[in-house]
A and B are shown apart, each in its own frame.
Chain A
Amino acid sequence: MEVFEVIQPGPLTTVQDLGRFGYQQFGVPTSGALDNYAFRIGNILVGNDENSASLEITLFGCRLRALQDTKVAITGADMAAIVNGEPAPAWESLAVKSGDVLAFPRLKGGCRAYLAVSGGIDVTLVMKSASTYTKAGIGGLGGRPLRPGDIVKAKAGAISKAGAHLPARYIPAYENQITLRVVPGPQDDCFTREGIHTLFNSEYIVSAQADRMGYRLEGPPVKHREGADIISDGIPLGAVQVPGDGLPIILLADRQTTGGYTKIATVISVDITRIAQAKPGDRAKFQRVTSGQAVALLRKYEQRIEMIKASLCA
């Protein structure tokens, strides 16, 4: 079922689901929505399975024409979304009619918005996932970002209550100044005590080199004991890699599966959404937590999503 025609995609709009798992052993990154929370809530609001494919829209400028009456939900970054020029509410399910123009003209907060569509976007799964990995041309719509004139298809959606909206207390505020909680390791022992002190007591600025692969930060360099090179090993989601120049890079969904630079710490699962919504110029600080604390926070996060799901589907 054809649901949207792309008038303008903006700088980067891709099809994503929760990611491609099981193929990192072959060098294939997981990809998937960078902001797990906004992505899942979008699907919940339109009555989809949480892993249904949606559009991930970056910064601003995306414009779509509806080709069907359907139901959508806009979540994530606030891009002052409008339907036919009128403000469109975010974080709730929204009926759109065939011919409506849905636009994301201006960035007011965050970096990535999600457009969930009733039924989920219909693309051929590649390695069991709809996620686009543009660098290798895998998944999504022909392995590439959307282009003007593209037709986006959706599967038939479940019938669900119209007008579901997320209570305001569950809507995240996207700040220009974020704190990222991290668990030290795997190679924190490759840094001097002073280097580790620097990481936890400095403010870093998100550089212009910030994309789905990783966020390069600028600020005081973190000192290694002997060097930045290690025998290449795997790279977990959220790894804070520190190459020879001492400037941290936070590695995200499109990261290479392996690498040969030291990793001082790993951003905890629930804080990936914070860095995913940060944009060049934003400020970030690091705070140390234990992996036990990180798991407790993740448990609370999952309970919150379960609660939201239960209340919206009731």
Chain B
Amino acid sequence: MTTAATNLRPPPFLRRYLTFTWLTLAVAAAIMVFEAFAHPSIVVNTLVTGGMWALMAAGLAMVFGVMNIPNFAHGELFLLGSFTAFTVFSPIQDALFDDPSLTWLKVVGPIPGMVVALAVGAVTGVLLEVALFRPLRRRSRDQWVMNTFLLTAGVSVVAINSYRLVVGNDFHGVPGYWIFPPINVAGVPISVDRLMVLLISVVTIGLFALFLRRTRLGRAIRAVSQDETGAQMAGIDLNGIFVLTMAISCALAALAGASLLFLFPAYPDVGLQPLYTAWFVVILAGLGNIPGAVVGAFLVALLQNLTIFYVGVGWVDVLPTLFIMLILLFKPSGLFGSAVKGVWEQ
């Protein structure tokens, strides 16, 4: 017999999986509120970089959830995006330099670069799936997760060094996208670039979530991530879904690279930090969990910005790692991980 008091508490499985998670989120929220008064720049940086990590991590999580591929070449899509945006934006920047009175170009100028980066990323994703993952899938699905991990590691090395051979080791960056005076938000001056990047990430994540939840294709993607065989029996074209998933994931990474060009100039190794940050996020949130990855991205961004502000920029790899190991001690399947095992785990 249980008493009325215990009946009011959430059932055991909820208690077990929610308490620690909510506690962590509450602490993060409290820090955000505190820092909003003490050091608003931390909050701004957290939101700006967090939005972009969310784009990276959501793509990574989706590819893992749907195709069971732990993509180690995700950072190179970031590089591809930033270099594409640089190539497209440079002439526009020059035109603006020659004639600063073109206000309309000042407003819309950065957009083409991002759109082209998005498209180039999507095409690369299609190529990756068709040229690499499909042949491997056709040959064997034994130890698929490890094999694709190594495969993408190879792709990453080839991509970084090919870029180095073709483009060189120089930094290709822009001083800023939208050259306007900073805007005051609640008394804190924030550069227009940062606000726009935040806007881009919020809009993209919103559209992405709508696509996944409200469209037939999105439902098909989610179906494949839950049960591949079942989805196939329901008439879903698996190959089509794989191509689409890879294209979206790569496009998101490229968009992140393009949007952050003013913070991360394009150079061969630029993808490394976004890559391992996205992996931090995905591990923290639980592999394959897309909404978790979005929340986790802001958590990791907060952690990184706190580390940079209070400890020093060099420790940005060390402290978040320790924190993640600590979390995994308590929650081995990630902060939002469920106890349900995915196909890849069995």
A and B: partners?
Answer: no
Q: What residues make up the interface of A, taking CB atoms closer than 8 Å to B?
A: none
